[in-house]
Structure 1
Amino acid sequence: MTDTPRIVIVGAGPAGIRAAETLVAAGLRPIVVDEGARAGGQIYRRPPPGFTRPAETLYGSEAPKAQALHSLFDRLATTGAVEHLAESSVLAIDRAEGLHVLTPTGRRVVPCDRLILATGATDRLVPVPGWQSPGVYSLGAAQIALKAQGIALGQRLVLAGSGPLLTLVALQLVKAGADVAAVLDTAPMSAQAAGLTGLMARPAFALRGLAMRARLGRLYHSGVTLKKIEADARGVTAILWTAASGAERRTECDMVGLGWHLRAETQLAGLAGCAFDYNETWAQWLPRADRLGRAREGLYLAGDGLRILGADGAEVSGRLAATACLQDLDMPAPDPVADLKRLATLERFALGLARAFPWPADHLRTLPDATVVCRCEGVTAGELRATADYGGPEANRVKSLGRVGMGRCQGRYCQLAGADLIASHAQITTAAVGRLREQAPIRPAPVGAWVKGPPDTAGSD
């Protein structure tokens, strides 16, 4: 370890930006690695330069927060207070060498004494018969296309799933002039009412969400059951669904956006040696860390990659992770008391969200055998069940024998649903199925980047 600690932050969303700000205030110069061309993360994703849609249109009521974070990071980067590696992905972690980072100019090895992971979250998806068809996207993809390029991914759209993102993306598309035919929420009104107690931890935020829902009017349907996505050679043609009343419906469309809240992005945390616990509330494996985000010596987690708390929670946890880092370096650190109190409030609200918009486990248990579960490898529910019968109901055995989770996404979009499906078939708990082991590289990378070796080393001074 050099006299000046080499600290790397992965992710330049709200958590990463606040972590960088805290470290810079303490006199340190962290390296920030981010896959985006410009800082902001997914929630505050920035369009290319020259984009004409104003921030108020892109981010709604969150525009002031987004602009403040953008300005803060731009100032840190342009003044040299941080080193910003944009459009760069961490592919692997070597405890001795550091991070292997794929940059626009090739692979770099970034030495690292302390690591803050602010990797955010991705869409949490549930297989629906026909979801492998052209024209089916995640809600996050639909939002990225709208924010980054100002386009809708179809002419007649249906959005389906559950959680706040469903309402938010639907309203953003409607306001942009897209033809949204229906918004289908699998969460029944009874569950949404049961979550109100927790949601009242942030009453203004909850009321804002209800107001957004009201603006969707008759487009919104709760308590639905998704039956099938129809498609022809050109792509999606319609979606079949059952209303809460039991009535069978068919809605014609050429695009379907799916999403059930969020899934913590934890691949790097796993490679870095984090322990994990299965969280029944969020129906997913989450990294183990203390209240400040300290996962082990020299490793800190922040944002939705640790706790699914949204953008405001990410800012708080980013400061806390940096505070823990400074404490461990025996450097002057901010008092975390106020942020910890704020964190508790955000956690109560998040618990309300999880109860209001539950993971549709019943849908997974009854998934037809012909339904594709792993879109990358084309593995069906029937093949998954048969593999579990043959090799045993353990996630990594099913992966090695049946190829589920071996594709481009490395299980990001099929692991959670696949584990639930295996568990229900074997009549065991989802936690008993286990989680897929991470393997480097965690993103697809050109073979040449590894054959040629890293051209240089960042942060070696």
Structure 2
Amino acid sequence: MTDITDLVIVGGGPGGQAAARAAIRHGLRVTVLDEQARPGGQIFRQPFADGIYPKDRFGAKHAAAGRAGAALCAEPLIDWQGNRMVWGLTPGGEDGFELFHSGPDGAAALKARRVLIAAGCHDMAVPFPGWTLSGVMGAGGIQAMLKGQGVAPGASILLGGSHPLMLVIAAQLLDFGVTPVGVVFSQSFGRIKEMLGAPLVASRSLPVFAQGARAYLKLHRAGVPVHFGKVVVRAEGDDTLQQVRIAPSDRLDATGETIACDAFGFCYGFTSSAELPRQIGVDPVWSETGGGWIIPHDARMQTSQPGLYVAGETAGIGGEPCAVAEGVLAGLTIAESLGKSVSETEIARAQTQRRHRRDFATLLQRLADPGAALLQGLRDDDTAICRCESVKTGAFRALLRDNPTIHSADAAKLLARTGMGPCQGRFCHRAVQEEIAAARGGSTADAKPFAARMPARPVPLRDLRSLSRDGNE
């Protein structure tokens, strides 16, 4: 463990790649650790093997991103390590930081002078009756199957929620020869007027609008129904999904109508992957529409922990253009912090670009926000609030009534076991906090999150044992 690299980037998506390019341009040695075998992240996820679908299946931009990622891996200053799950981060004093990660060949530790966390996000878990049925999943999971494996999860797929990404995924399903049975938006079509209220901000991200508009028109031409002002209130079936029930968003208890489907992807937003910075004491801030607990930073993307930087969704949900802008900025400022000559003009330009992208991201968050009241209203007493530990919402609410001193997710964890399963609260924490806030008459932010501890993800005991033999404690 005497070898120390200049920079370790956790995450090989658009933000991580942009940071890596900026850093090697200034002579830094960079190691990129990513859970996927190939660069791309979720938005530019590449197939697990060549030839499983045409290279242009997801458009020219996706194909170009694949080529650019492969070229980055070939750079002499880049050490790309795919299929690696980073589960631990510790301060290393004068040596910077030490990261612990696992993969097919076991566990390893790595030291770095600087660390950038660009770990992305995952689908925001939204408990509702029937959400544990086989065939119900986050819409991002459907997209991952399409891009990564070249398969669709069913023959009759419905998408429902509040995020415009559903239009893009539905259009991608059409490209795979699967016609979705519909897309269900909880908000009214009139919400698009919010975009018109900020024309300057919106005009800076016209490609994003164009992508959504093309997807909507494609669905319209294919005869795919797009519903507005409605929500999926229940998934029904014996062991697997057979149909869902939808109702008006303002009358969730209405009988509603049913739609037959064998797969349902929900998308009400995303949850930031912020566990690693929190492990070493970086205090997160709550963003109701921007990813839940996100990591604050200064104007140069550095966190309260000197030498630790963030970019992309870890700093708040913003999408690919925002992640790229923040990655560039972080890469430049990290190079400068390590003594490289970086123009202040270049940094200022990157800061301006980042600000513009964040402004649009904030506008999109408002458009896609379903509202906490709707999310909480979807849960009945029999809904599993914590899938890992099979905790029902009714039992959790009763526990809160019987124990008025519970004011945080960790306190609830001691009695209810919520957050004690393999996901360590990554999926249930928002619903748990919403229930605590409702019971105590406070805000979701008042119910503090589960403590972030090592390991951030489930790790085989043999990996921990092998690191211990190598002298790590």
The answer, yes or no, to whether TM exceeds 0.5 is: yes
**Structure 1 counterpart of 2:385:** 373
**Structure 1 counterpart of 2:306:** 297
Q: Distance in 2 between matches of 1:282 and 1:388?
A: 27
Which 10-residue stretch deviates more, 222-231 or 386-395?
A: 386-395
The amino acid of 2:150's aligned partner reads G
Please tell me whether residue 88 in structure 1 is matched to residue 84 in structure 2.
yes
1:435 to 449, 456, 460: 449
**Structure 2 counterpart of 1:308:** 317
Please tell me whether residue 100 in structure 1 is matched to residue 100 in structure 2.
yes
Q: Distance in 1 between matches of 2:368 and 2:196?
A: 11
Distance of aligned partners of 1:5 and 1:37 in 2 relative to their CA distance in 1, 3 Å threshold: closer
**Structure 2 counterpart of 1:328:** 337
Check conservation: 1:85, 1:103, Cα contact below 8 A. no
Which 10-residue stretch deviates more, 418-427 or 154-163?
A: 418-427
Displacement of 1:283 in angstroms is 6.3
SS of the residue corresponding to residue 241 of structure 1 reads strand
Please tell me whether residue 342 in structure 1 is matched to residue 353 in structure 2.
yes
Check conservation: 1:18, 1:315, Cα contact below 8 A. yes
2:398 to 382, 386, 403: 386
Q: Distance in 1 between matches of 2:218 and 2:146?
A: 19
**Structure 1 counterpart of 2:124:** 124
Check conservation: 1:39, 1:45, Cα contact below 8 A. yes
Check conservation: 1:186, 1:360, Cα contact below 8 A. no
Q: Distance in 2 between matches of 1:76 and 1:189?
A: 41
SS of the residue corresponding to residue 128 of structure 2 reads coil
Q: What does 1:131-150 align with in structure 2 at a 5 Å threshold?
A: 131-150=131-150
2:215 to 212, 215, 225: 212
Structure 2: gaps (5+ residues): none
Check conservation: 2:109, 2:467, Cα contact below 8 A. no
The amino acid of 1:260's aligned partner reads Y
Which 10-residue stretch deviates more, 293-302 or 399-408?
A: 399-408
Matched length: 453
The amino acid of 1:229's aligned partner reads A
Displacement of 1:52 in angstroms is 4.3
Please tell me whether residue 42 in structure 1 is matched to residue 48 in structure 2.
no
Distance of aligned partners of 1:283 and 1:90 in 2 relative to their CA distance in 1, 3 Å threshold: closer
1:75 to 68, 71, 75: 71
Check conservation: 1:76, 1:82, Cα contact below 8 A. yes
SS of the residue corresponding to residue 221 of structure 1 reads strand
Q: Distance in 2 between matches of 1:305 and 1:330?
A: 26
What is the CA RMSD across the aligned residues, in angstroms?
Answer: 2.4
Which 10-residue stretch deviates more, 153-162 or 329-338?
A: 329-338
What TM-score do the two structures reach when normalised by structure 2?
0.90
**Structure 2 counterpart of 1:236:** 241
Displacement of 1:207 in angstroms is 3.7
Distance of aligned partners of 1:357 and 1:267 in 2 relative to their CA distance in 1, 3 Å threshold: same
Q: What does 1:142-221 align with in structure 2 at a 5 Å threshold?
A: 142-198=142-198, 199-217=202-220, 218-221=224-227
SS of the residue corresponding to residue 337 of structure 1 reads helix
Q: Distance in 1 between matches of 2:466 and 2:363?
A: 50
Displacement of 1:82 in angstroms is 1.0
For residues 152-186 of structure 1, the C-alpha deviation after alignment (integer angstroms, 9 at most, x for no partner) is: 10121111112122111111112211131121111
The amino acid of 1:158's aligned partner reads L
Distance of aligned partners of 1:245 and 1:381 in 2 relative to their CA distance in 1, 3 Å threshold: closer
Displacement of 1:204 in angstroms is 4.1
